C-alpha cells in the first residue's frame, strides 16, 4: 500500500496544529464538505453537505463518561490538523481488484476547559462519497480506564426523508424492512424477536432517500471493542441520535486509553448505484492482519441444512427433551429416524458437490445437543466435539478427501458464549484433526453471560476475537446471528461472511421475505459486508416437500431471481441452498450456480433503486467472464442494460436465465427460460423481470 501524502498537506497540518482556531474547521473532497464548529453552548458539532445541499445539519458530537466529567459539555479546540491521503489497495477477495482510498482528513483536538482537562480528538475523513468520523481518546494522565455511559453523536437530517429501517433490537437484525418517512418511524407494531430498544430506535445501516434526489446511508465502520450503534429518530426534528447497545450493567463500553470508537459513516450520492459502489466503509477498516492469505478460499457450498427448514429432516437425533449435556449417554437415545446429519446422507451431499464442482459441504446437526438446544437460556448445550452416533466423523473425513470436497464445520452456540469460549480451543483442535478449514457459527437465543446482548461491546469483542482465533488456526468463518458487519472482513479476510439479517431461511418459516427484501439488503445490511443469504432455492413451493408441515409456505421470488441473487447479493461464500434432488430436476438452471464466480476483479452497478430493483454485473477473478444479476420487487420490470463494460472487440456468449412469460413469484414462480445470445461491448441487454422475478446472465468470451 502506498500513501500519497502531499508535502502541501503536511505543511498545512503543521500550521493548523500550532494555531488556536476560533472559527469553523472544514474539509472537503469533490462534492462533499464537512464543517466542524463549536455551537453557541460551546459544544462540538459537525455538518455535511453534498454539492452545496445539506446532508447533515449542525449536529452534536460528544461522549458521556460514567466517571465524569466527560466530553458532553463545553469543550475547547486545542488545535487541528489536516492531511490528504490517496492510495490504492488490493483486497484478498472482493467485488473489485483495486480499491482507491482517497480522503481529506481533519483532526480536531478537543480539551475540557476546566480540570481535569481531559482530551478528546475527533477525526474526520472526507471522501468523494461521504464522511467517516470517530472519537479518539489519546493516552493522558487524567483518562486511563473509563466507561462510556452514552454517546452524544447526532445526525440532524434536514427533512423528513424516506427511510428503509428495521427496529432496534439489541439481539437480532432478522427483520423485514419498513419503508416510511422519518416522521413515521415507530417500531411498536412490529413483533420484536428479542429485546426492543425505544420505539423510535432503528438499526444501521440506515438507508435514506431525500426529496431532492440524494441517497444517504448511515452506518459505522470497524466496530471493535465498542457496542453497535443504533440511532434514535426524533420524528419531529428528523434528528437521529446515536444509541449504543448496553452491556449487562447498563453501561455502554469499558475502555482504556489510547482507544478510539468505530467510525461513524455517512455515505452520500446523487444516485443509488453510487451507494452500492461505495468502498468508504471498507476503506475505514484496517488492512489485513493476516500475512499469509493463500489458504483463504472464496467458495460455493451445499449443505445438510435446507432439508431441516422444509421439515424433511431434523437437526436433533432423537426426540428426547430436557437433556443434560454432561451425563447423557447419546448412544442410548432413541433415534427419531429423521436426523439429517447421518453419514449416508452427508455422503450424498459430498457426491453432489463433487459431481458439480462445488467446493464444500456444510453439515448442521452433526453434534450432540440439539434435542432442546434453544430457548432455555441454558449454558451447557453443545460441546462442539461429540458427534451423534450416526455421524461417522472419521469416515466422512476420508470420504470427502477422496472426492476432493471439504466439509464445513458447524458451531451453534445457542447464545451460550461462555460455554463456547471455554471450549473453543478444543473445538478448533477437533476441526484441524478432522480436516475442516471453515466453520459456520451460530448464536441463536439469549446470550450467556446473561444480561449481555448480541450487539453489545462484550459480544463484539467475542466475534472479533473468534475471527482472530480462527485466523491463527487458518480457519475461515461465517457467523450467523452475529452483530451486523462493519467492513472488518478487510482486516480479517478469513471472516468470509455473516448472516446478521433476515435471510432466505425466513421463507421456510414464516410469512417469509417480501419480494422487495433483496432489493433493500444491498443498501442496508450489505453496506457492512458479505451476507450468507443462502440463495438458490429452486423448489419454490415448499409444500411439495412436506405438505402437512409446509402448508402455504413458499419462497417469495421466482426461480430465476434466486439465480440472480448470486450476483446481486455479494459474498465470497455462496450456498447452493436447496436439496440435491431439487437441483437434479433443473440441471439446466443449476448450470448458472455451477458457473457463477464468488470472487471478482470488477463490479458495475448497472441500475438500482432501494426497494425496487438492483442490476449488477461482475467480472470473475482473473478471467474475462462476466456474470450479471437483475432483480425486482413485486413489480414486473424491464431492464435495459448496456454491456459497455465488456472488452471492446471481444465476442461473448451470453446465457440468459430469465423469468418465462407468465412467471410470477406467487402464482408461477418456477417458470424460467434459458437462451443464449452473442454479445459484445456495444450490445444492450433487455431483460424482462416478472413480479418478484429476476434474471441471471453468464457472459463468457467466445473462444477464437
**Contacts to a second copy by CB under 8 A:** 139, 144-145, 247-249, 251, 254, 256-257, 321-322, 324, 372, 376-379, 418, 421-422, 424-426, 449-452, 458, 461
> Which helix or strand (DSSP H or E) is residue 229 part of?
strand 229-233
Beta strand segments in 30-98, E: 32-38, 44-50, 53-60, 63-65, 76-89
SS (H, E, C) 327-389: CCCHHHCCECCCECCCHHHHHHHHHHHHHHCCCEEEECCCECCHHHCCCCCCCCCCCCCCECC
Determine the 3-state secondary structure of 164 from DSSP: strand
CA distance 523 to 611: 9
Three-state DSSP at 431 gives helix
d(CA 613, CA 636): 10
SS3 content of the chain, % helix, strand, coil (to 5): 20, 35, 45
Q: Which is nearer to a second copy, 375 or 622 (CB)?
A: 375
Which residue among 364, 505, 518, 625 is the active-site one?
505
Beta bridge mates, 675:
656
Where helices occur in 569-641 by DSSP H, the ranges are 580-584, 587-595
In the numeric block, the cell 470497524 is attached to 222
* Cα–Cα distance for residue pair 321/336, rounded to 1 Å: 12
Dihedral sign for Cα atoms in the order 365, 368, 370, 374: negative
Q: Give the nearer residue to a second copy in terms of CB position, either 425 or 644.
A: 425
Minimum distance of a second copy from residue 470's CB (angstroms): 14
User: Residue 253 or residue 476: which is nearer to a second copy going by CB?
Assistant: 253
Place of cell 438507508: 207
Task: State the pairing for strand pair 162-165/206-209.
Answer: antiparallel
CB 681 within 8 A of CB 648: yes
Residue appearing with cell numbers 426523508: 161
CB of 616 to a second copy, least distance (A): 39
> Min. distance of Cβ 112 from a second copy in angstroms?
19
Long-range contacts of 116-119 (CB under 8 A, 24+ apart): 116/69, 116/142, 116/143, 117/142, 118/69, 118/71, 118/142, 118/143, 119/78, 119/143
Can you tell me the distance from the alpha carbon of 148 to that of 227, in angstroms, rounded to the nearest whole number? 10
Cβ count near 10 (within 10 Å): 14
| Choice between 58 and 449, CB closer to a second copy | 449
* Nearest residue (CB) to a second copy, 141 versus 292: 141
Minimum distance, C-beta of residue 320 to a second copy, in the bound complex (Å): 12
Nearer to a second copy, 186 or 225 (CB): 225
Q: How far is the CB of 381 from a second copy (least distance, A)?
A: 11
What is the nearest approach in angstroms of a second copy to the Cβ of residue 370? 16
Choose between 272 and 459: whose C-beta lies nearer to a second copy.
459
The C-alpha atoms of residue 490 and residue 473 are separated, in whole angstroms, by 18
Q: Which is nearer to a second copy, 23 or 327 (CB)?
A: 327
Q: Are 170 and 456 in contact (CB under 8 A)?
A: yes
Least distance (Å) between residue 422 CB and a second copy: 4
Backbone phi, psi, residue 78, to 5°: -95, -10
**What cell numbers appear for 180 in the block?**
416510511
Residues 332, 333, 337, 338, CA torsion sign: negative
Nearest-approach distance from CB 269 to a second copy, in angstroms: 38
d(CA 340, CA 338): 6
CA 642 to chain CA centroid, nearest Å: 29
Joined together, the cell numbers standing for residue 25 give 474547521
Question: Whose CA is closest to 496, among 364, 298, 281?
Answer: 298
| Residue 373 or 545 with smaller CB distance to a second copy | 373
State the nearest-atom distance from the C-beta of 147 to a second copy, in Å: 8
Q: Is 505 a catalytic residue?
A: yes
Angle separating helix axes 559-568 and 587-595, nearest 10 degrees: 0
User: In this complex, which beta carbon is closest to a second copy, that of residue 393 or of residue 417?
Assistant: 417
Q: What angle do the packed helices 343-356 and 393-402 form, to 10 degrees?
A: 10
- Supply the minimum distance, in Å, between the C-beta of residue 466 and a second copy: 10
Minimum gap (Å) between residue 424 Cβ and a second copy: 7
Return the number of the residue (422 or 704) whose C-beta is nearest a second copy.
Answer: 422
Residue 632: CB atoms within 10 Å: 33
Residues serving a catalytic function are 505
Amino acid at each position: 500500500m502506498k500513501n500519497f501524502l502531499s508535502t502541501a498537506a503536511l505543511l498545512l497540518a503543521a500550521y493548523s496544529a500550532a494555531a488556536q482556531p476560533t472559527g469553523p474547521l472544514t474539509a472537503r473532497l469533490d462534492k462533499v464538505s464537512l464543517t466542524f464548529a463549536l455551537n453557541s453552548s460551546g459544544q462540538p458539532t459537525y455538518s455535511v453537505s453534498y454539492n452545496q445541499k445539506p446532508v447533515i445539519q449542525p449536529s452534536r458530537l460528544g461522549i458521556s463518561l460514567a466517571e465524569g466529567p466527560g466530553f458532553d459539555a463545553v469543550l475547547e479546540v486545542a488545535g487541528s490538523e489536516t492531511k490528504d491521503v490517496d492510495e490504492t489497495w488490493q483486497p484478498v477477495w472482493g467485488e473489485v481488484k483495486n480499491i482507491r482510498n482517497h480522503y481529506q482528513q481533519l483532526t480536531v483536538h478537543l480539551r475540557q476547559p476546566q480540570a481535569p482537562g481531559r482530551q478528546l480528538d475527533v477525526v474526520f475523513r472526507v471522501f468523494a462519497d461521504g464522511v467517516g468520523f470517530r472519537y479518539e481518546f489519546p493516552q493522558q494522565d487524567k483518562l486511563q480506564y473509563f466507561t462510556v455511559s452514552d454517546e452524544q453523536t447526532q445526525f440532524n437530517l434536514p427533512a423528513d426523508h424516506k427511510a428503509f429501517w428495521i427496529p432496534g433490537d439489541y439481539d437480532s437484525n432478522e427483520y423485514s424492512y419498513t419503508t416510511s418517512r422519518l416522521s413515521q418511524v415507530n417500531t411498536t407494531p412490529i413483533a420484536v424477536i428479542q429485546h426492543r430498544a425505544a420505539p423510535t430506535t432503528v438499526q444501521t445501516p440506515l438507508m435514506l432517500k431525500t426529496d431532492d434526489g440524494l441517497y444517504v446511508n448511515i452506518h459505522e465502520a470497524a466496530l471493535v471493542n465498542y457496542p453497535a450503534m443504533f440511532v434514535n429518530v426524533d420524528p419531529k426534528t428528523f434528528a437521529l441520535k446515536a444509541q449504543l447497545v448496553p452491556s449487562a450493567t447498563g453501561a455502554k463500553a469499558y475502555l482504556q486509553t489510547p482507544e478510539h470508537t468505530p467510525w461513524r459513516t455517512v455515505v452520500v450520492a446523487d444516485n443509488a448505484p453510487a451507494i452500492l459502489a461505495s468502498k468508504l466503509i471498507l476503506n475505514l477498516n484496517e488492512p489485513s492482519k493476516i500475512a499469509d492469505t493463500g489458504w483463504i478460499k472464496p467458495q460455493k457450498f451445499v449443505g445438510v441444512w435446507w432439508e431441516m427448514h422444509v421439515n424433511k429432516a431434523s437437526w436433533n437425533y432423537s426426540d428426547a427433551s430436557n437433556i443434560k449435556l454432561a451425563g447423557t449417554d447419546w448412544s442410548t437415545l432413541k433415534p427419531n429416524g429423521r436426523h439429517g446429519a447421518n453419514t449416508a446422507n452427508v455422503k450424498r451431499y459430498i457426491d453432489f458437490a463433487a459431481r458439480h464442482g462445488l467446493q464444500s459441504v456444510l453439515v448442521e446437526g452433526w453434534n450432540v445437543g440439539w434435542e432442546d438446544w434453544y430457548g432455555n437460556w441454558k449454558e451447557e448445550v453443545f460441546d462442539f466435539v461429540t458427534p451423534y452416533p450416526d455421524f461417522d466423523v472419521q469416515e466422512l473425513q476420508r470420504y470427502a478427501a477422496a472426492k476432493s470436497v471439504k466439509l464445513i464445520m458447524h458451531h451453534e452456540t445457542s447464545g451460550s458464549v461462555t460455554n463456547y469460549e471455554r471450549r473453543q480451543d478444543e473445538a478448533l483442535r477437533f476441526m484441524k484433526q478432522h480436516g475442516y478449514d471453515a466453520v459456520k457459527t451460530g448464536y441463536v437465543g439469549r446470550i450467556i453471560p446473561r444480561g449481555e446482548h448480541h450487539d453489545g461491546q462484550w459480544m463484539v469483542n467475542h466475534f472479533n476475537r473468534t475471527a482472530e482465533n480462527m485466523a491463527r488456526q487458518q480457519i475461515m468463518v461465517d457467523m450467523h446471528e452475529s452483530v451486523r458487519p462493519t467492513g472488518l472482513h478487510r482486516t480479517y479476510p478469513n471472516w468470509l461472511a455473516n448472516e446478521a439479517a433476515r435471510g432466505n431461511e425466513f421463507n421456510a418459516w414464516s410469512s417469509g421475505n417480501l419480494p422487495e427484501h433483496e432489493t433493500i439488503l444491498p443498501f442496508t445490511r450489505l453496506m457492512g459486508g458479505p451476507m450468507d443469504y443462502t440463495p438458490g432455492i429452486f423448489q419454490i413451493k415448499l409444500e411439495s416437500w412436506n405438505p402437512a408441515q409446509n402448508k402455504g409456505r413458499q419462497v417469495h421470488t421466482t426461480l430465476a431471481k434466486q439465480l440472480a441473487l448470486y450476483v446481486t447479493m455479494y459474498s465470497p461464500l455462496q450456498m447452493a441452498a436447496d436439496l440435491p434432488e431439487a437441483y437434479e430436476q433443473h440441471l439446466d438452471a443449476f448450470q448458472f450456480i455451477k458457473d457463477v464466480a464468488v470472487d471478482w476483479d470488477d463490479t458495475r452497478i448497472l441500475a438500482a433503486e432501494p426497494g425496487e430493483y438492483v442490476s449488477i454485473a461482475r467480472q470473475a477473478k482473473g478471467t474475462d467472464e462476466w456474470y450479471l444479476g437483475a432483480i425486482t420487487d413485486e413489480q414486473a420490470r424491464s431492464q435495459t442494460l448496456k454491456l459497455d463494460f465488456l472488452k471492446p472487440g471481444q465476442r461473448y456468449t451470453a446465457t440468459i436465465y430469465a423469468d418465462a412469460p407468465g412467471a410470477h413469484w406467487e402464482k408461477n414462480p418456477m417458470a424460467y427460460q434459458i437462451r443464449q445470445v452473442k454479445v459484445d461491448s456495444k450490445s444492450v441487454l433487455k431483460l424482462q423481470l416478472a413480479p418478484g422475478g429476476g434474471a441471471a446472465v453468464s457472459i463468457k468470451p467466445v473462444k477464437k
